[in-house]
Structure 1
Amino acid sequence: MTAAVIAFALPAWAGVQAAPAAGTSVKDGVDAWSAGNYDGAVRIWQPLADRGDPDAQFNLAQAYKLGRGEPLDLSRAEALYGMAAAKGHVQAADAYGLLLFQRGERQRALPYIRNSAARGDPRAQYILGVAHFNGDLVPKDWVRAYALASLARQAGLPQATSALEQMDRSIPLEDRQKSVVLAQQLAAETQANRQQLTASSELGTHAPIAVASNAPPPARPAAAKPEPQTSPAPAPAPVSKPQPAPAAKPATAPRPVTSGPWRVQLGAFGVAGNAEALWGKIKGRPELAGHPRALVPAGKLTKLQATGFASKADADAACARLTAGGFGCLPSRD
């Protein structure tokens, strides 16, 4: 049976994920941004970015990407992400790869996408999983495709659920069972990569990111022709399952650390009840499990934060998943 080709449904850009740097000036910009003073934040970050500060470059790229404090300009955002990524800024590298992929530079984006997926970014896991399913840019590997899409779904990425529904139509039960074991292995590797990032963060350095490769990109096999079907097959949306998927055990995830100096800010509200309402909506997400809520007064605003992250890398990882799920997020330190 010829498998249908899954079209990429790119994850939406959402929220601000600006990470405060060690420098006081950069953090001042983060504070201004979280209070809604986007113009002031940009004025703080611009000279620092011009002098090559990677955190300021990343933050300024976020402003251009979101059109806050500066006119929306994805080309300028991409250039700034690239500058910060070249200095080892992990979040900038993640965003840079996604922007490259979004505008069709898929071969240039692939090394970044692979590295992001290895760090557990659900957007990158989804893109790489669909690529392995189609045999597009990477070798066709249905076991790996299903494992990566499953990890992205566990992180709450809606596109991954739709992709898995279509994969269920084509991937044999035996391969789906193998993917459960592979997903657990990938999750363990992701945790090891995060621990390395944590060590680098604690040393006050950026972890190096291997994005340059002299090897040629993988050969691109011919795309499989869609099989005749009664429901549409373009973007990952068809819902038709000839046989039920096995009850996959979720990949073993580390227990969340509930004590630590890092927090993730989920929003700043003029009405405290709105902060409570957002917490009621978001508190069940796995990346916030075991992390207590904090309502922090800030002038006329109330900041909603989840507390107890052991390191900046842990807070960054939680923010990446929250952002992928459509929630704003801002790492900060006590």
Structure 2
Amino acid sequence: MITAKRLWLLATAAALAGTGLNAAIAQPAGSDVRAGIDAWAAQNYEEAIRIWRPLADRGDADAQYNLAQAYFLGRGVPQNMVLAEQWYQRAARQGHPEATANYGLLLFQNGRRQEAMPYVSRAAEAGDPRAQYVLGTALFNGDIVERDAPRAYALMSRAAAQNLPPAVSQLAEMERLLSPQDRARGVELAREMRTAPPPMQIAARPAQDPARTQTPPRARPRPLQDPPVRTATAPTPRPRPPAQTAVRASSVATVGGRWRVQIGAFSNEANARRAWSAAAGRLPGLRPSFVRAGTVIRVQAGPLADRAAALRACARAGNGCIPVAP
């Protein structure tokens, strides 16, 4: 029974690596790479490739990543997963965050799991939920890396808090299988994990290309969506820890507000209510809601006036908290 569970978890992680590869185009402030972004946004993919290729050859990590995405998507060039992997690798070796995540997940999907894990680990530490899911699964199984159940639980919690559906389901399984001691340590680790900036910013997609939602064959992973563009402006900041972002108790709850915050998802109501009891003191005035979603119970609290108020509340609640729109 235990062996079957381990195999199922590992297979799920491999499937995620294939279906979840990001398809964003990096857009730094540099004018040369930006010219390619403008061509890409106008769906002039061949012109974008013409601009990026010499920059990529000269070592520009953003251009290398964008060229990898073009080969991955088959836009402006014939789709070529070998060349996509090569360009991902070049950018990842320079520390490009999106390239690091995509390269690691692509290696994992293609069965090169030991080779993938350093890249997956770095992406997980940077806050990528897909990498957190894959690394959490590996740590839970102990097949690729040494087993570390508390850290596996912490990473899966972070991925689930970012609404990655397989992570939500897998977290519920972990809560059922792990000891109370391992779960408690995992909660502590999740709180200690520093909130990372978003993996990328989102901009306009070509209008006539809808988002792709089908599950592709494992041998030829395809992206879930067309390439959004990382803007040249500074990334939108995530909420800081409570010590850095002070929120007055009187400003947490808002009469008549429709926004809420979600502090976690749990396999049973008892765990959900314990989580709320632990967080309630940091969220004075908010009322809890225990929302069933399939096999899990989401702990949400409100009312809050708007997204800004929800972010301030999340700053009080700590890691794992996310705003919930009306």
TM range (shorter): 0.5 to 0.7
Q: Is the 8 A contact 1:32 1:38 kept in 2?
A: yes
2:142 maps to a residue whose letter is G
In 1: Cα distance, 2:95 partner to 2:184 partner: 37
Say whether 1:155 aligns with 2:162. yes
How far residue 34 of structure 1 moved from its aligned partner, in angstroms, is 2.0
- Superposition deviation, residue 117 in structure 1: 1.0
The alpha-carbon distance between structure 1 residues 116 and 15, as it changes in their structure 2 partners (threshold 3 A), is: closer
Deviation at 1:133, TM superposition (A): 0.8
Deviations 1:250-287 (A, max 9, x none): 99xxxxxxxxxxxxxxxxxxxxxxxxxxxxxxxxxxxx
Q: Residue 194 of structure 2 aligns to a residue in which SS?
A: helix
* Counterpart for residue 51 of structure 1: 58
Q: Which amino acid aligns with 2:63?
A: A
Taking a change above 3 Å as real, the CA distance of residues 156 and 34 of structure 1, as seen in their structure-2 partners, is: farther
2:89 maps to amino acid: G
Q: In the alignment, which residue of structure 1 is the partner of 2:227?
A: none
Please give the alpha-carbon distance, in whole angstroms, between the structure 1 residues aligned to 2:135 and 2:83: 26
Unaligned runs of 5+ in 2: 201-232, 235-265, 280-305, 310-326
Give TM-score scaled by structure 1 length.
0.56
Distance 1:108 1:141, change over 3 A: same
Q: Give secondary structure in 2 for the equivalent of 1:72.
A: coil
Partner of residue 105, structure 1: 112
Q: 1:133 to 1:60 in 2, by over 3 A?
A: same
Structure 1 gaps of 5+ residues are 195-200, 203-239, 252-287, 292-334
* Partner residue, 2:87: 80
Letter in 1 for 2:16: L
Paired residues in the alignment total 209
Alignment of 1:1-334 (within 5 A): 2=2, 4-5=5-6, 6-7=9-10, 8=13, 9-11=15-17, 12-13=19-20, 16-187=23-194, 190=196, 245-246=271-272, 247-248=274-275, 289-290=307-308
Deviations 1:115-156 (A, max 9, x none): 111111111111111011111222222211111101001112
Checking the alignment, whether the CA contact within 8 Å between 2:21 and 2:102 is kept in structure 1 is no
Scaled by the length of structure 2, the TM-score of the pair is 0.57
Measure how far apart 1:181 and its partner are. 1.3
2: distance between equivalents of 1:52 and 1:63? 17
CA displacement, residues 58-81 of structure 1 (integer Å, 9 cap, x when unaligned): 101011112222222221111001
CA deviations on 1:279-307 (whole Å, 9 max, x unpaired) are: xxxxxxxxx9549xxxxxxxxxxxxxxxx
Relative to structure 1, is the Cα distance of residues 179 and 23 closer, same or farther in structure 2, using a 3 angstrom cutoff? same
Q: 1:127 to 1:289 in 2, by over 3 A?
A: farther
**Post-superposition offset of 1:174:** 3.4
* Conserved 8 A contact 1:176-1:245: no
Larger relative contact order (CA 8 Å, sep ≥ 6): 1
Displacement of 1:169 after TM fit? 2.9
Q: Is the 8 A contact 1:61 1:78 kept in 2?
A: yes
**Superimposed CA distance per residue, residues 87-121 of structure 1 (whole angstroms, 9 cap, x where no aligned partner):** 23222222211111111111111111111111111
SS of residue matched to 1:10: helix
Q: Name the SS of the counterpart of 2:46 in structure 1.
A: helix
- % of aligned pairs identical? 47
